[in-house]
Amino acid sequence: MKKKIAIIGSGVGGLTAANLLIKNSDFEIIVYEKEKMLSLEEGYGIQLAPNSISILNKIGFRNIDKNDIFNPLKLNFYSNNNKICDLDLGKFNNDSIKYTTLQRSTLIEFLKDKLFTNNFRFGKEVRKVSKIKDKLLINFSDNTNDLVDFIIVSDGVFSKTKSIIENKDIRPRYNGSVAIRSVIKFSDEFNYESKNISLIMFPNAHVVIYPINKKGDFNLVCIAREKLSQNYDMHSIIKKKILSKNKNLENLFKADLNLWPVYVSKKPIKSIHDNVFYLGDAFYTFVPALAQGASQSI
């Protein structure tokens, strides 16, 4: 009899796990998502190191439309406008495995299309998990339930499922930084290399810019040290942390901007149940090194 695996959360980590596990005919895979549908909004850019690309290639990523991704060869480090050094990303590449940048939605779309409709259950928020012999009974807020052999929890940094399963309040902590993000179009005023990643460092802040496809779209992210607040003033933060040091970057921040406080985990979680596993940010959230949040999930 097939083993039934419940994956809680339809983000990058959960969908990657589903795609890999569904290749094994001994498993029945169901992805449970609390939202009513899978979000396929364009979203922001992500960077994928070769180790994560090697995993994605197992489910056909090498066949993705090459116009929807980019393969930068260098990470350039700047102190304000002055280039300090660069990291040759090409050293880690081969013909089929390359450092890749793309929009998060492009990856989600790819992962979704490899699964079947009957692998998804939407509008499913976990309310309770109970052990029944060697199985787990999941009760959902819509008064339905499911009996499964294993649970993989992959519902992000603010995972409520983790607290429900472990019977204790588990919350991340604010790390003292905010992320301000946007997708911008290439411009002649862009003073950095358009085919590579640029990391521009300031006191208590840095800006990262990189291409996310071959259509002229670039991801812009600014990380700034800032006290936790209920009402952040994005433009004030940008002016104080970035533009006061370099007014030439002003045009970068004219597109639509969004801000997120950055949270990290206090410590990794090992479940009280042998058949519960945590994945990605639900397992342990830490500040992404070299923008590898998505790669860490994979």
pLDDT in tens, 217-249: 999 999 999 999 999 999 999 999 999 999 989
| Secondary structure letter of residue 2 according to DSSP | P
Sheet holding 82-88, edge to edge: 82-88, 74-79, 197-202, 205-211, 217-225, 173-185, 258-264
Number of H helices, E strands in the chain: 6, 18
pLDDT at 289: 61
Confidence bin at 210 (pLDDT 50/70/90): very high
Of the candidates 144, 157, 131, 165, the residue with the CA atom closest to the CA atom of residue 32: 144
Q: Which of 74, 67, 77 is nearest to 106 (CA)?
A: 67
Radius of gyration of the chain (CA): 21
94-123 CB burial, b ≥16 within 10 A, e <16: eeebbbbbbbbbbbbebbbebbeeebbbee
Per-residue confidence (pLDDT) for residue 213, from 0 to 100: 96
- Tell me what pLDDT residue 288 has: 65
Residue 266's pLDDT band, with cuts at 50, 70 and 90, is: confident
CA distance 31 to 15: 8
Rounded CA-CA distance 128/140 in Å is 7
Residue 68 has a pLDDT of: 96
pTM: 0.93
Listed in sequence order, the residues at least 6 apart from 93 whose beta carbon sits closer than 8 Å to its beta carbon are 50, 71, 99
Provide the residue type at 111 as one letter.
Answer: L
* CA distances to 11, 31, 36, 159, 162 from 123, in Å: 15, 11, 5, 16, 18
Cross-strand partners of 262: none
